[in-house]
Structure 1
Amino acid sequence: MSDETADSTLRSIDLTRIGERRYKATNSRGGVLPIGSGDDPDFTPVELLLAALAGCGAIDVDIITGRRSDAETFDARATGHKVRDEQGSHVVGLTVTYDVTFPEGEAGDRAREVLPQTLQRVRDRLCTVGRTVAIGEPVEYVEGDL
């Protein structure tokens, strides 16, 4: 039984070193994602955070606006500045920008109309990744057997 089956709130990945400063993350469904230090094409941890922010919001935006009309185009960009200061290394100025177009007509108009309030709901309530970053949750780093 997977961890997710035992506890419906638990999310987990396993990380394995696959080379010098290269790792693979594997989820419980068998999905694999390479992670690197920035010396290769693999996503860095900060880039993964940005992707998670954009992707989390995109799913909610797509679901809500898609009830009115399918998007003709759907793109997003997440940005932030990696800094080191008295608080240590962290990312500041996080912004996710969505560029979504809908077809002409009544359905497209309804989707366009709901998009601004959908982005507010994503920010204030819906996106688990963004809410976790905004609220702030302590992270424990521990040694142990997996």
Structure 2
Amino acid sequence: MSDQTDPSLRSVELTRIGPARFKATNARGGETFFGTGGEDPDFTPVELLLAAIAGCSALDVEAITHKRTSSTRFDVRAEGRKVRDEHGNHLTGLRVSFDVAFPEGREGDVARARLQAAIEMSRDRLCTVSRTVQLGADVAYDRVSRP
């Protein structure tokens, strides 16, 4: 199915641009680059996953809390430990930490009061990325043969 016939479909295309370096392009033409994390500043795939988890929740929390007022500080950190064990390579101890401040006054008080609930809604229901990681999803791997 193409993006035009299935509005739920999300996709990215990867193109190798050098040794251990790739360009990811989304359906809207946006690009980002990643690699093994050697000499170049590119994100590694694991760092992209952490950024996706943090970014997804940050957007959720901002949308909820900023209905009242804009934050004066909004920083988010995602971390996890990469391990290799009987299950293969994976991350453990995933954590997303929010450091958010709002201005003084009534609107800031309301936003502060909503912050924890907004974080919990993102974690428990809204953030597609972290929900997918939490629930687990099968990943099918296919080989496309082209002449």
Q: TM-score with structure 1 length normalisation? A: 0.96
Superposed CA RMSD in Å reads: 1.3
Deviations 1:2-29 (A, max 9, x none): 9332211000000000000000000011
Alpha-carbon separation, structure 1, partners of 2:103 and 2:4:
40
Q: State yes or no: 1:61 paired with 2:36.
A: no
Q: Percent identity?
A: 55
Structure 1: any 5+ residue segments left out of the alignment?
none
Asked if the contact 1:3/1:11 (under 8 Å) is kept, the reply is no
Deviations 1:92-115 (A, max 9, x none): 100010111100000000000000
Q: Which residue of 1 aligns with 2:18?
A: 19
Asked if the contact 1:73/1:101 (under 8 Å) is kept, the reply is yes
Compute the displacement of 1:35 (Å).
0.8
Q: TM-score with structure 2 length normalisation? A: 0.95
* Number of equivalenced pairs: 145
Alpha-carbon separation, structure 2, partners of 1:145 and 1:24:
21
Q: Which residue of 2 aligns with 1:33?
A: 32
Compute the displacement of 1:140 (Å).
1.1
Q: Which residue of 2 aligns with 1:90?
A: 90
Compute the displacement of 1:145 (Å).
5.0
